[in-house]
Amino acid sequence: MEKNNDARKSKSYVPKNVIFNKKNINKKCLSFELHWAFNLSKKMNIYKFILYKILGWKITGDFNQDHLKKVVIIVAPHTSWIDFVIAILSRKVLGVMVNFVGKKELFVWPFGYYFKWVGGAPLDRSKNHNKVDAIASIFDSKKEFRLGMSPEGTRKKVDKWRTGFYYIALKAKVPIIATSMDYKTKTITIDKPFYPSGDIETDLKILKKFFVGSVGKIKKYT
């Protein structure tokens, strides 16, 4: 009896009723991966059901074109707070994180963790950086960052776009993806990546042309 005990101490003892081999480990890993994928698919289906079936929207295109990890996404027309809800649902359906920036003071406890979790990045302008340089620095510091912006900069009707998004893309050396949110047809259309040339007048004409005909939630602000 003592010899048996010594043998158990000298080796890595595994009881006979415990099956522990590579095949079973692989099965458990596969089971976990399938369970995770199923839950993710289930969540995405819920978002699809809300966006497509209940709200009646559809999406054309994708943000993950050419496997781009860094991009500036401009969304227009922006006329209502409801745009934010539609945008969040669309992001969930596509399964791609779209980020935003905010003052660093917003990213303190307890809300800071939440803002980062939903894609937020704190903007630090204490180092005498202007906004364009500060956001370009965020792009440089991250492996993946898709910045969503409204070129109008307001929900009211404007005659001219703000140009910050253009100079951010130029400085960060990333493409711009134009995305229209048309309430007339309830269609979100995602364009192909556009690489700014530095000729802002010509480039803005090209980008604005993509949004012609798109109608916002509040038509008079379009």
Domain spans in the chain, listed from the N-terminal domain onward:
20-54, 58-221
Looking at per-residue pLDDT, the higher value among 133 and 29 belongs to 133
pLDDT at 11 over 70: no
pLDDT at 20 over 50: no
Q: In angstroms, how far apart are the furthest CA atoms of the chain?
A: 92
Tens of pLDDT, residues 51-108: 999 999 999 999 887 789 999 999 999 999 999 999 999 999 999 999 999 888 878 8
Residue 127: its pLDDT value, please? 64
Residue 55: its pLDDT value, please? 96
pLDDT at 202 over 60: yes
22-26, 111-115, 118-122: range with lowest mean pLDDT: 22-26
Looking at per-residue pLDDT, the higher value among 20 and 164 belongs to 164
Which of 146, 171, 170, 136 is CA-nearest to residue 73?
A: 146
Reported as a pLDDT band with limits 50, 70 and 90, residue 116 is confident
Residue 102: its pLDDT value, please? 84
**Most confident range, picked from 44-48, 85-89, 108-112, 197-201:** 197-201
Tens of pLDDT, residues 169-198: 999 999 999 999 999 999 999 999 999 999
pLDDT at 2 over 60: no
Reported as a pLDDT band with limits 50, 70 and 90, residue 13 is very low
Residue 104: its pLDDT value, please? 81
Residue 113: its pLDDT value, please? 81
The phi and psi torsions of 187 (rounded to 5 degrees) equal: -125, 130
Residue 9: its pLDDT value, please? 47
